[in-house]
Amino acid sequence: MLRTLLVGLGRSGTGLHLPVLLRARRAEPGLFAAGPVVGVDPGRTPAAPDGLTVAAGLRDARRLLDPDRTVVHLCTPPTVRDGVLEEVAALGFRRLVVEKPLAADRAALRRVRATVDRHHLDVTVVAPWLHSALTDRLATLLGDGTLGAVRHIGVTQHKPRFRRSLTASSHTSAFEVEVPHAVGVLLRLLGDAHTEDASWSDVRLGDAVAPRLGTARLRLTHHTGGRSEVYSDLTSPVRRRRIVIDTDHARLTGDYPISEDDDVAQLLVEHRPGGGSTTVTRELLPDDALTRCLIRAYRHAAGRTAPDDAILPGGPGDLGLHIRTVELLDDARRLAAMARPHHPLTTDRKEVAGHAG
């Protein structure tokens, strides 16, 4: 049975991982050892919420935990990912759950991969959209062939994020905030790709500016011939996590849950088989994807992976898809640095080119 070390006690560490872990421990008592979750964060001395013991540093945490029976969650900003990974590995921890993105850029990715190889680490990247019931349903619908070939996938990932972007330095561009989730799903649904073009913009409020944290847009061309586009506006007045898939005979519009407040995804299927009339169906899918992702990660760490989970691209212990995500986003950053910034007037009118909201 496994204990937990949470490294980074910010929004993702204490706001997302801790409550989900406490729920998962109740749901799967045989997987998790008794004893509190241990947390470390040199930048904060938070009042420890129920179920969390805060250690003074990683060495102190090591004294409280047996590395062979501990899963370490890295909930630190992407800019320090590689350094913290090396520190944790040097203390003997081998099983890790790492927040997305796996690395900030290609240079950091090389350091992450070197640490993983040198210390024989087993790493699961937190990628809830890959574990989502909506993504599974889309993969099934596209996989059975009745909807024809995929022509285009557009993803919009909008939310207002003025305050966090202007006050916290945890992200260097909007490509790190929501976009890694979408790119992982696009690679799963359409296969490998290259970045065709990309742009970004700053967020401004009065005199305050956070460079590159306003919007991020990128287009991918997949090696199978399909095309996809992601647009994330962090200055939007509305929250939206939508995927629109156009195939030869259908349009699928999927809405991922927009926050931890409600975990039901929605899917609208508009099907026009071979010139016939269009049928429209709506599906509602319970979709607590982060809980599913973490439970799968712990089953994997305990050597109890279910057969279906073992083949999930980008699932527990599989870094390939996440490495490609970092590489495609690194290319997007380089292309965006040369492109004209895209400043939306309002995002609620038009989302991804060709796909009115």
Residue numbers of the site for ligand NAD (CB under 6 A)?
7-13, 16, 40-44, 75-78, 80, 84, 99-100, 168, 170, 176
Distance CA 333, CA 329 (A): 6
Find the distance separating the first CA and the last CA of the chain, reported in whole Å: 47
Q: Is 178 helix (H, G, I), strand (E, B) or coil?
A: coil
The maximal CA–CA distance of the chain, rounded, in angstroms, is 68
Whether the Cβ atoms of residue 203 and residue 162 lie closer than 8 Å to each other:
yes
For ligand NAD, the closer of residues 41 and 246 by Cβ is: 41
CB of 12 to ligand NAD, least distance (A): 3
CB of 122 to ligand NAD, least distance (A): 19
CB of 42 to ligand NAD, least distance (A): 6
Residue nearest ligand NAD (C-beta atom): 10
For ligand NAD, the closer of residues 82 and 309 by Cβ is: 82
For 144, phi and psi rounded to 5 degrees? -85, -5
For ligand NAD, the closer of residues 84 and 234 by Cβ is: 84
For ligand NAD, the closer of residues 11 and 304 by Cβ is: 11
CB of 314 to ligand NAD, least distance (A): 15
Place of tokens 């099934």: 140
CB of 155 to ligand NAD, least distance (A): 16
For ligand NAD, the closer of residues 9 and 138 by Cβ is: 9
**Helix 133-143 vs helix 179-190: angle between axes, to the nearest 10 degrees?**
30
CB of 271 to ligand NAD, least distance (A): 34
Residue 245: DSSP 8-state: E
CB of 348 to ligand NAD, least distance (A): 22
What does the block give as tokens for 72?
A: 């370490």
Whether the Cβ atoms of residue 21 and residue 126 lie closer than 8 Å to each other:
no
For ligand NAD, the closer of residues 96 and 142 by Cβ is: 96
For ligand NAD, the closer of residues 176 and 330 by Cβ is: 176
One-letter amino acid for residue 60 of the chain:
D
Q: Write the DSSP string, 320-343.
A: HHHHHHHHHHHHHHHHHHHSPP--
The beta strand positions in the chain, using DSSP E, are 3-7, 37-40, 52-54, 70-74, 95-98, 122-125, 150-160, 193-205, 208-222, 227-233, 235-247, 250-255, 264-271, 279-286, 350-352, 355-356
For ligand NAD, the closer of residues 81 and 152 by Cβ is: 81
CB of 149 to ligand NAD, least distance (A): 33
How many Å is the Cα radius of gyration of the chain? 20
For ligand NAD, the closer of residues 129 and 150 by Cβ is: 129
Place of tokens 């950091």: 108
CB of 225 to ligand NAD, least distance (A): 31
Whether the Cβ atoms of residue 239 and residue 258 lie closer than 8 Å to each other:
yes
